Structure 1
């Protein structure tokens, strides 16, 4: 297959989850004999077209700031969509690619990719990481209508949608016509890298890793940990940065066991995060909005007892299954689950074995199956592509 990925950001020059997914799947597909090209912004030094891990990285727009006032820049997304269109259009018309895969979100590059493919035989696959719906009101306030409309227009654009979780697939089916059986290909992890990550000199009993934003509910974790910590020699490490950091640090100062909590900030080296997971006993993240929940899979592979929030807006239950613990997102329930986990209450299933299903090799194989099936189909709706969904 000749596969084109479209993403304004390109890993490893920008290190987010969506671009890492493209890198991990794309590099494996390239190693398996497929021709892979990534169209993105010019975040690397050197010429606009380079080879990286067997893939062609092709810059169709210059480097640009991705955020404005701590929110993704609409101007940047529009600019990238406009700049990517001519190059994609020319190459798709020349038949250089059998399939084009666009990441959602932002939405506008998906729409320009579809425009580029019009009149050609190149099908469009989209990767949906989340469907925001009413969350737009929290994110944009009075401007939420524009986010909702953009999301719905993108969902109703003819495409082969792939979701990273069942919850995202279900929500996409609610706003997209005919999406009764959306394919699910999860995000992945490198289980070998996790198993061999160097441990720090001293580990924490309880660990959190993630962006410090409101729906991660780190404030609940601090409160619950403080209760459990009473009369016990325990430690909590919090890895990450974000707009909630100052508020959380202030809350921590008021805790009875503030000295048992350490904010590590953002760790530049991914292996340092993995090492802390390997050294921890419990990984706890009471986040109520997770399109997938990659840190849960990483922590399971590191043989942590994982605690996640039981919430309809989180796919945590899909990731951990019965290899971890789900708890209502309140301090009382979280404290009780923390205490039992720290007292060696093990989940029914082995977390390491559960994590193996999310290894990047398995994920890339699922993606390969779907891409080939799309290419072989007579039209964008001729054949359902959901057979490769990850088993629960």
Structure 2
């Protein structure tokens, strides 16, 4: 039995794309026979045993940057390093998610001290953040600890060519590995009206869904600028300062757990995410599995997936272009159905979590 130490700065119930990926990896690795412990930040309570056989160890952390500025960077206490060392000695492999966090650095140091093999998942490159201080901090991190992490890892799993180029620039050994998606949870709706009523959404409007944190890189402002009378906008995600609460045709669902988010996909008609520097975000995979037509940014990171551009709208990050695509989809139910059917078929074939877990177990021993 392979003993796997998964390391992530956050883990559910904290909401976010990386958290969801780590949770699914842990569940499917355990289902494939691995012994899995997740090291993360959060409220402590000993080692938590999850229903599917995964154990979680949460280290107390100060999370003021997330609460005050929307920057997801928890600062764990001194227990982090001692816990990382203890569980690194136990593990056959350490699997670190993203090299920009204190949890990752502690795991990297523990790997070096215990000589436990380490692999990494790098989800993003440097983000073009509007705050100068954030950009400078990112550059400092990747010029020091982040670079050392990428160089020391046996291999670095990436989702797209943009992140691959970033990792290679810092000396990392890259392997492309798509995330999976649970197609039993994220699936098309048999009927939307009941779900819309439950979520407080109108029954008689075309609904365009945005799912993700309301931060600049996600492009929610581009979507607001593309608003029009042909459709309503639905925002599902943390934060709402930039979303006009009293504007007709704009709905804010707030933070949703995975079941609530699955309902939001099923309630809506189109998914739109004008993000940047993300490649192939998990929310796009979930929307496709839910049978929604997708409108998103023409990011180079989509290139390895060979998407059919007649079935997925890959656009400039421009409000006018986004609006033109949404107007077309809002007025053409046949086109929406065709693109949605293609999305579901593509997701069912291409995004298998069991296959993802099997690849990981193969690579851990290689």
Same fold (TM over 0.5): yes
1:176 partner SS: coil
Q: How do residues 258-273 of structure 1 correspond to structure 2 at under 5 angstroms?
A: 258-259=247-248, 261-273=249-261
Equivalent in 302, 321, 334 of residue 307 of structure 2:
321
Task: State the shift of 1:10 in Å.
Answer: 2.8
Post-superposition Cα deviations, 1:73-103, rounded to whole Å, max 9, x if no partner, equal 76x44x45x533323334444xx32111111
Deviation at 1:167, TM superposition (A): 2.4
Q: Which residue pairs with 2:141 in the alignment?
A: 147
In structure 2, the residue corresponding to 1:154 is in which secondary structure?
A: helix
Shift of 1:105: 4.3
Q: Which runs of 5+ in 1 are unaligned?
A: 378-392
Equivalent in the alignment of 2:123 = 129
Q: 1:192 to 1:159 in 2, by over 3 A?
A: same
Q: How far has the Cα of 1:290 moved from its partner?
A: 1.8
Alignment of 1:46-61 (within 5 A): 47-52=45-50, 53-59=52-58, 61=59
Q: 2:217 aligns with which of 206, 215, 218?
A: 215
TM (norm. structure 1) is 0.76
How much does 1:134 deviate?
Answer: 5.9
Q: Pick from 280, 287, 308: which aligns with 1:292?
A: 280
Query: Looking at CA atoms only, which structure, 1 or 2, has the larger radius of gyration?
Result: 1
**Cα RMSD between the aligned structures?**
3.1
Q: What residue number does 1:70 align with?
A: 69
Judged with a 3 Å threshold, the aligned counterparts in structure 2 of structure 1 residues 284 and 328 are, in CA distance, closer, same or farther, namely: same
Confirm or deny that 1:103 pairs with 2:103. Answer: no
Q: Which residue is 2:166 aligned to?
A: 171
Matched with 1:371 is 361
CA contact (8 A) 1:14 1:43 kept: no
Q: Where do residues 245-256 of structure 1 align in structure 2 (5 Å cutoff)?
A: 245-249=240-244
- TM-score, normalised by the number of residues in structure 2: 0.81
**What secondary structure does 1:4 align onto?**
strand
Q: Deviations over 1:21-60 (max 9, x none)?
A: 222111222122221112233525xx4123112012234x
Task: Give the corresponding residue for 2:233.
Answer: 236
**Matched position secondary structure for 1:20:** helix
* Equivalenced residues, count: 346
Q: Which moved more, 1:160-169 or 1:344-353?
A: 344-353
| SS across alignment from 1:249 | coil
Which digits, 9 at most, give the CA deviation of each residue in 1:278-303, with x for residues without a partner?
23222122222324312211111221
Match of 1:190 among 175, 178, 182: 182
Q: For 1:131-164, what per-residue CA distance to the aligned partner results, in whole angstroms no more than 9, with x for missing partners?
A: 2166597461555542342433332334321123
Measured in 1, the distance between the counterparts of 2:157 and 2:251 equals: 36
Alignment partners' CA distance in 1, 2:340 and 2:261: 26
Residues 91, 116 of structure 2: 8 Å contact kept: yes
Kindly indicate whether the alpha-carbon contact (under 8 Å) linking 1:99 and 1:371 is maintained by their aligned counterparts in 2: no
Alpha-carbon distance in 2 for matches of 1:143, 1:63? 20
Q: Who is 1:382 aligned against?
A: none
Gaps of 5+ in 2: none
Asked if structure 1 preserves the Cα contact closer than 8 Å seen for 2:4 and 2:92, the reply is yes
Question: Which SS does the other structure have where 2:226 is aligned?
Answer: helix
Kindly state the Cα deviation for residue 3 of structure 1 after the two structures are TM-superposed: 1.1
Contact 1:325 1:347 in 2 (8 A): no
CA 1:370–1:190 in structure 2 vs 1: closer, same or farther (change >3 Å)? closer
2-structure distance, mates of 1:162, 1:130: 11
**2: CA distance, partners of 1:332 / 1:348:** 23
